[in-house]
Amino acid sequence: MTSKELNQAKLGKNVKDGYVSFGHPSVMLKLDSGESVEIDEGVIDLIKLMNSIPGIETKGSCQGQDSTYGYVQFMPDDTEGKAHASVYFMYHILKNMHGAWVKHRHVMGEYEKSTGSEHSDAYNFKFTTELGNGYVLKWSPYTYPAVLSAARKAAEETKRDT
């Protein structure tokens, strides 16, 4: 029995596949489905937020560290009539992340104008998406606060639009 299986047996909890912790502090989160998942502490707010949107179910996540990107994978859930919520959420988070990126570029440009040199964070704002086995959002650890802010706005907009 692996240590993860042993810990699950001790806790009497059912841990869902896909949530990965690479040594990050983690917490157990009980989903509306009744399943319990182990979530990195650094993304718990994002995972709770995304799972609160009818029509969206997160499938895996990691908070990332240093040069390793954080990510969350999500898919439509079986909420009747809400399968399109994933598409709306993806649209809204991309729109909101674009706004955050433009603001970042402006601030970095102003810094360079005032100092004559590039800010050390000029190229640290990184965010990407994937479509394949569901949807995947990826970000550099530097960018996570912007991701969480954009996700909060996207959740409100998605709930309004679906």
Q: What is the pLDDT of residue 20?
A: 53
**12-35 pLDDT per residue, tens:** 333 445 555 567 888 998 877 788
Q: At 37, list the tokens.
A: 């998942």
Quote the percentage of the chain above a pLDDT of 70: 86
User: How much is the pTM?
Assistant: 0.84
Reference 60, options 146, 135, 1; nearest CA is: 135
Rounded Cα distance, 42 and 64, in Å: 8
Cβ contact 38:19 at 8 Å:
yes
% of the chain surpassing 90 pLDDT: 69
Mean pLDDT of the chain: 87
Segment 40-89, tens digit of pLDDT: 999 999 999 999 999 999 999 999 988 889 999 999 988 899 989 999 99
E strands of the chain, at which residues?
26-30, 36-40, 56-62, 70-76, 127-132, 134-139
